[in-house]
Chain A
Amino acid sequence: MTSPKSAPTARGPLVAWHRRAGGRIETVEGWEICVSHPVQPDAPRSGGNLLLDWSHRSVTELGGPRVSELVSGLVGADVAVRRMAAARSGIVCRLTPARAIVFGDPGSGVLGDPAAVDVTGGWSTIVLAGPDAINVLSLLSSADLRTRAMPVAAVRQGPVAGINTLLCHFAGHWELHACPDSIVSLWEAVLDEGQAYGLQVAGAERLGEVVTVGGGGEEGTT
């Protein structure tokens, strides 16, 4: 247990899982995160299938009739429903005309707006990368993952492993956002189906090689 009056440290719901799996835990910018996992001897150095936890991020929910206006302010243009776009330091996902989720820092201007609710800790993020990501997803969801239905910059809400998940398709990876109370179940289900494809767990130090900056692209803007 921490000593009294220590500085608040945020912790995502998968940290205990990482610790049990032998991950190295460090505190970075106020979050306890898993920096690295022991490398499996048979793991490919690159090009393999990777599973990462990116729950250590601010998340903001925008709601109501002013969502288009707020999204335009963040992205520079409005974002169509079921699409995402890169903002200054994060990604804006448009779920409905009256609802958008911002992953990453939305800036103080947005946070102070009555249409914005800070829901950091209400969303956890799993990053799934590699050539077989789409196969793993097809075993967990009824989603139409063909490029035509789910191109890069598309977002889709719906059950993955029976858990309501916001699935985002980036150029080099997929992100699965879900409620932290179910994220351990989701993580374990993805890992289980990924076994056949040699899916490896990795720490946050490898996020950089998977997630390219502004990976959402501008395709989603209207």
Chain B
Amino acid sequence: MSSQEGPCTFTFDGRSITARPGQTIAGALHQDGVHVVSRSFKYHRPRGLFCATGRCPNCLCTVDGYPNVRTCVTPASQGMAVRSQNAWPGLKWDVLSIFDRLHRFMPVGFYYRVMHKPRFLWPVFEAIVRRIAGLGRVDRQSGGSRRYDRQTLHSDVVVIGGGWAGMHAAIAASRGGRDVTLVDDRENLGGHVLFDPGARVDRETEFESTVQAVLDDPRIRVLHRATAFGCYEDRLVAVQTGDRMIRLRAGQVVVATGGWEQPLVFPGNDRPGVMLAGGVQKMLWQDGCLFPGDAVVVTDNQNGYRVAHSLAACGTRVVAIVDHNATPAGDPGDLPVWTGQTIHSVRGHRHVTSAVIGPLEGASSATESISCRWVVQAVGFTTASGLLAQAGCRLVYDESRDLFRADQLADGFRAAGSVNGTFDIDACAREGRLAGEVAAAGEGGGTVDLIPAETSPPVRRPPDGKKAFVCLCEDVTDKDLFDAVAEGFANIETLKRYSTVCMGPCQGKMCQSSSIAACARANGVTISETGRTTARPPEQPVPLGVLAGRAPHRHLIRRSALHDWHVEAGAVFLDSGAWKRPESYGDPAAEYQVVREGVGLIDVSTLGKLELRGRDVAEFLEFVYPNRFAKLKVGRVRYGVVCDEAGIILDDGTIARLEEDRWFLTTTTGNADGVDSWFRWWLATRPGWDIRLTNVSGATAAMNLAGPRSRQVLAAVCDGDLSTEAVPYLAASQLTVAGVPATVLRIGFVGELGYEIHVPSQLAEHVWCELMAAGAASGIRPFGIEAQRRLRLDKQHLLAGQDTDALSNPFDAGLPWIVKLDKPDFVGRSALQRAEGREPGQQLVGFRLEGDRVPPEPSLVLVDGRLEGRVTSARYSPVAGATVGLAWVPAELASNGQQITIQLDGQLVNAVVQREPFYDPEGARLKS
């Protein structure tokens, strides 16, 4: 970005602007004489560059359709389209600036207080308020084309902040043998020292060699232009760099985030031309900008003298250094100094024209107006300690330094430099080295060791509740805060929420100190008593796209081993969790019919499949299922329902005994992982059990060959005897199917003679194709889950999770026979014992509804107009000649022939309860 060769040209609101190589957008605008960059959030006041270091909201513009770009830290590049925000029709003449004149009628909370009545109009007002009080606009077209990604990095020591303290910390940690990641949000390392020549006096060589030492150190990874915006549990540091979010997992963290220069609060303090010293220094020395005309510098420390000399060196006429102190805080050279004075206000609308100077305390009559174009403030810093606070470090108000700083650090954290309120450059270096050494030793945490500094408390002018902007982001004035406290929002947290101070893009960087001071003053208490609001991520605004990520892998798709065959066959897919399953191959009615009359084949590979081996498996199954398994013979399969301790149905499936100590279980598609986990938990509670559980869900594919002609189709690819004598209903056989070893379960979910064939996944397509070929003469068709759902409904076979919910036990779900309460112990026995003796509530029953209207799930079952149940499944059944389904109904209606009322398309229709299958109630076809 900054390495480009020649100048570049971009547009600002359509006007062509030329930028020097490496210059920021804001720098180029300033150089071109553009001093109004945006309009403010509420009153649409003209705003110019203020902090110029990427903190305040004033320079936010839309760049190439991307809103809220900090143009003061974003390098210009060729062809960029930059647009101002919050101004209509234009920056110079914004019609909504009328709000500025209406200020006294629009106190804090104005919109919400005035416009909430009449209530029905609020949506209209809200839309207007949202439009005029916005912060840029998201371009829905360009947003989708950005590629956001997410990376995880691990580091022994993470140093946040590449300033003087941070660089020394990184070097020290690396010398301690650790790998270090240094996160810095600027183009170049060096922090504020980089563009403050005064701070580098006599250290030019040391500065450059330090930067080089960091860059050359193979153990230090430097992340440039990267913003750490959050510290989370177990030292996870969230970093944004461009369109990437980096999750940085740190062994130890050194926070060297420095400080934020603070503004004074005085009428007109937001006018273009009023700036902070650090920003002026950066624009002078990094962007190569000039500040032509006269300047007034307001200060209480050395920085003010340094910026005054910088300005003077670059051709600005410094007409006054206004020093709060009684004696000058620095060497003014030949520049005029006004001691014991401060700024009371500025005049000018689109730009400063003069500054009003007067005594710190006292009547305004003693003031004097000085004509100038620039007012530069250098009145100290607050600590950038938000990340420390997020990490759980305790912050206290340090009266001698007039700032909040950490005094008790969270485990694994160190703080160094200005973030501690240490501003002396040599002290910063010493703190940095110490922090790096402690971090390298893995001993972060504990109390903060400060290098004692020779400082006296700064002289400040107290807030006085005038219309002077405390918060540039949300246009909150001193007066607003005093009014809000008077209204009762006296606590700093409620004051913040009510006035929205500190809630804008700067998140308090420019306004937290002033708002705390105002709150303290309005309440007549100390700053320490007032405290500060809770720090939360993000520390810096982060685009939502970065947080959301692109993460295509969030959309995991699971495909069965037969997926590609289904695609070729033109299957219509249905999303079932992450699975893609064939709903049908185009004609579910024909697929239904072919299973009833001929033979069909369905892919049921999505079933969960578990293999259990060991001496104690039978005992385990007796324990986790309510029915019996100890005496299940080898070669047989049995239906089972898994219940929890409350007797609620978790899942159902089949349990086959393949060998004496080798069992094969299936679960439903959706519960495969859940049952695996459930069983593993019970196994973990009894480590003594001799049981080995292998999840073979992925290794095994399954298909169900069903229909009256299924035996002859299977026989064509299988050498064994398939007669009912050899392979009866509920047999579990080990057969060779199409040359592949298979476990074949003779079960009939769809109500016909059928074989559930389990084969190794990699051979599934081979077996499937062989069965399709062998069945061609019998008219075999693949069928999807829609046909399967219709087929099973004829038999009233429930689907766990579809027809049951978190209140369904086997008694109410029509499976009382499965509960063997005479077993001494099993999961859910106590609850089921209680349920057995209780008056039943709702029951799951079959119902028959004449005609072909199908109530969608979950249609309501009504009794005397009251909601008393619901339909869980319903389909038209050709064999019943009516719509059939399953529904939860009151117990008194749960017997054969009872009439129930179902709400269907707003009408009430009558259905009849039928508690036996609608098709083949004796199961003759199943067992044939």
Contact = CB atoms under 8 A, between A and B. Distances in A.
Contact of B770 (A4, A140, A149, A186): A4
Interface in B661-702: 661-662, 692-694, 696-701
A62 B733 CA distance: 24
A62 to B, nearest CB: 9
Contacts of B697: 122, 179
Secondary structure of the A side of the interface?
Answer: loop
Given A15-B564, A144-B154, A181-B560, 11 more contacts: A2-B769, A6-B770, A31-B762, A64-B614, A114-B662, A118-B760, A122-B699, A123-B698, A149-B154, A182-B557, A185-B553
Contacts of A114: 613, 661-662
A162 B762 contact: no
Contacts of B889: none
Contact of B152 (A138, A163, A181): A138
B773 A1 contact: yes
B559 interface: yes
A85 to B, nearest CB: 22
B694 A7 contact: no
A185 B556 CA distance: 6
A180 B698 contact: yes
B774 interface: yes
Contacts of A3: 773
A115 B561 CA distance: 26
A80 interface: no
Contacts of B556: 161-163, 182, 185
A48 interface: no
A117 B154 contact: no
A9 B699 contact: no
Range of interface residues on A (Cβ < 8 Å)? 35 or more
A170 to B, nearest CB: 21
Secondary structure of the B side of the interface?
Answer: mixed
Contacts of B613: 63, 114, 117
A45 interface: no
Interface of B: 149-154, 179, 247, 249, 551-554, 556-561, 563-564, 567, 579, 611, 613-614, 661-662, 692-694, 696-701, 716-717, 738-740, 760-763, 765-767, 769-770, 772-774
Interface string A8-23: 1111110110000000
B773 A16 contact: no
Interface in A105-128: 114-115, 117-123
19 contacts: A6-B766, A10-B760, A10-B762, A11-B765, A11-B766, A13-B761, A16-B564, A114-B613, A121-B700, A123-B698, A138-B152, A145-B154, A149-B154, A161-B556, A179-B697, A180-B561, A181-B558, A184-B557, A185-B556
A1 B699 contact: no
B709 to A, nearest CB: 16
Interface string A50-89: 0000010001010110000000000000000000000000
Contact of A122 (B559, B692, B700): B700
A122 B154 CA distance: 32
A115 B692 contact: yes
A138 B153 contact: yes
A207 interface: no
A164 B510 CA distance: 46
B561 A13 contact: yes
A122 B738 contact: no
B151 A121 contact: no
Contact of A181 (B698, B760, B770): B698
B699 A121 contact: yes
- Ranked nearest first, the 3 interchain pairs of A and B with the lowest CB-CB distance are A122-B699, A161-B553, A121-B761
Given A120-B762, A121-B762, A179 B179 contact: no
Contact of A146 (B154, B563, B717, B740): B154
Contacts of A144: 154, 249
Contacts of A149: 154
A218 interface: no
A189 B762 contact: no
